[in-house]
Structure formats: structure tokens, C-alpha cells
Structure 1
């Protein structure tokens, strides 16, 4: 019976060490976007459009609830650029 108590106590100690070692803070996700002009072909017709990292539509953001997003936006247009969510 004494061995069972010792094993159980050791088990509780090991489990508590693993629980304390888990990092539960929200992750940060970093993105860099370069805003430029470029040619796009909506409906097969060439026209000038705004690109994000050379893409139209812009890049996909992969995140989940409570992720912290840090988006660095560099505007290479010759006019102000507004981005909204």
C-alpha cells in the first residue's frame, strides 16, 4: 500500500510539472504587405489595379480566435492607401 501512495504522489508531481510547463498565451502572427500598382485581369480585361505583395486579390491571413496580428503595411502607391477590416 505504501508503494501505491509513492507511485501516486510521483504521478501527481510529474503531471503538475507538465501542466506548469504549458504556455497558454496567445500567439503573435506577423505579416508584411507591400502595396503596389500592377496589371490585373478581372473578367479577362486588362486594367491597372492595387496589388498586395504582387497578388490580386491579396494574401490570405491564416489565424484563429485570439491570435494577435501584426501587419506591417508599406505603401508604394503615389497616393494614400486606406485598409479596413
Structure 2
């Protein structure tokens, strides 16, 4: 005996729900975290001795980056020093 889906509204409804669910798969993108860093000279006091150092946003050591795996980090670095500056990690 052939299966007649029109005579079984619950089966037809379930089939339509599964079909729509399969087509509406949502893929979320990893979050972005934005930072603006201004690099300047300033005075630091390591071990209580005053000396000139490089500050990021007026801080030494620089600001913390709170993120998790797969976060996209966008860091705009503005060099206010009088010479080129290289930052790596």
C-alpha cells in the first residue's frame, strides 16, 4: 500500500519542518575585538629607577587584551615616536 502524505497531516507537517530546518542552517562568524593603541615615550620606574620607556596608551606594560581562541583582533597602532616602531608577538 503506497504512503499517502496528504492523508496524514502530522507526517506532512513533520516532513516540511525537517525540510525547512535543513535549509536554514545558521553559521555564526567569530567575534571581532577592536583596539586603538597610541605608542609614545614616557617615564617608567622599573625597580624604582626612573628611565625613559615606550608606553602604549600611557601604560607600561601595555594594556591587556581579553579575548578567546578564534577572536578576530583588529589593533590600530598609532606611532607617536620620532622613529619607526616594530611590534610583534
State the TM-score, normalizing by the size of structure 1: 0.75
Shift of 1:41: 0.0
Aligned to 2:79: 75
Unaligned runs of 5+ residues in structure 2 are: 1-10
Aligned to 1:34: 38
Matched, 1:58 2:62: yes
Q: How does 1:16-27 map to 2 (within 5 A)?
A: 24-27=28-31
Q: 2-side partners of 1:32 and 1:61: how far apart?
A: 11
Q: 2-side partners of 1:24 and 1:75: how far apart?
A: 34
Larger gyration radius, structure 1 or structure 2: 2
State the TM-score, normalizing by the size of structure 2: 0.71
Q: 1-side partners of 2:63 and 2:77: how far apart?
A: 13
Unaligned runs of 5+ residues in structure 1 are: none
Shift of 1:24: 2.2
1:63 counterpart SS class: coil
Residue-pair matches, total: 83
2:47 counterpart SS class: helix
